Homo-oligomer: A and B are copies of this chain.
């Protein structure tokens, strides 16, 4: 990094993972960036006139995607060198502060070719709602081979342990929060396109169906961080409601939670939990029938924030993967 000395000033970027949930899918707002139109997260520089980081973020997200952010939370700050090879990152900011934002409706996405994509487009192995994802056996096999090819016995064991933990093999069970850990393993093992690209190779890398669609620079890593954080947070904080319309049915709520967490839940127990915790209250209205008996429309009950220390939806998965009533 030419010219940069101790305590050097560096350019600072902001990136946003903007999440919505529509049609039972978790969506993330993406744009097409660069000459190769690779998918990317809305990003921009921190500008001097912004009083705070968060205000800066809100500002240009509104300009860039005409999306008005509600709930915003800082995710993580990514330093430069641990991001990508320097020769790739020229022009990229030295430091990126990433934010997670939740918005209520997936408006058609305004300017700059911004579109809403299911986040499972980038992480197909994270969606267990229809049972164990089909691409997992292949992924696991490739990871095993990578571990087996480790230089040194100790490293091999370390890798195998990490793989076992992250993918729920041998003993451990699938933990839906370990999104970043899984992505990082795939990256290190060279199984995602970004790995080949960052190494300077021009080969597009193994962008087959099994390992999902690549994103610009380290945006997929940022997205993985966001998904993991959100999956954890819904368990002890009522953040799902940021994604729901003002009134909704319990099944809609359940489907949203399932979309985010990637697992199926037991319906009756889910309702019991939601009601026991006092997370919702009646609106009096009924839904315009979604196929069967009309459902009560409920709304989020704000007062719960005052009552419970950790009002969330600790989601207890239903029968492993299968269809649940």
Contact = CB atoms under 8 A, between A and B. Distances in A.
A47 B4 CA distance: 8
Interface in A216-230: none
B81 A307 contact: no
Q: What secondary structure prevails in chain A residues at the interface with B?
A: loop
A288 interface: no
Nearest to A48: B4
Contact of A165 (B4, B50, B305): B305
Given A79-B52, A95-B12, A95-B95, A6 B47 contact: yes
Interface string A161-195: 10011000001110101000000000000000000
Copies in the assembly, this chain? 2
A43 to B, nearest CB: 12
A151 interface: no
Given A53-B82, A171-B307, A173-B309, A5 B77 contact: no
Given A1-B48, A48-B1, A164 B306 contact: yes
B48 A6 contact: yes
B77 A52 contact: no
A161 B51 CA distance: 26
A8 interface: yes
A34 to B, nearest CB: 17
B9 A11 contact: yes
Given A7-B47, A12-B95, A47-B7, A161 B306 contact: yes
A38 to B, nearest CB: 21
Contacts of A50: 81
Interface in A1-28: 1, 4-12
A137 B19 CA distance: 42
A278 to B, nearest CB: 12
A184 to B, nearest CB: 14
Interface in A122-177: 161, 164-165, 171-173, 175, 177
Nearest to A175: B309
Contact of A79 (B53, B79, B172): B53
9 contacts: A1-B48, A6-B47, A8-B11, A10-B12, A12-B95, A53-B79, A74-B76, A77-B97, A95-B95
Interface of A: 1, 4-12, 45-54, 56, 74, 76-77, 79, 81-82, 94-95, 97, 161, 164-165, 171-173, 175, 177, 305-307, 309
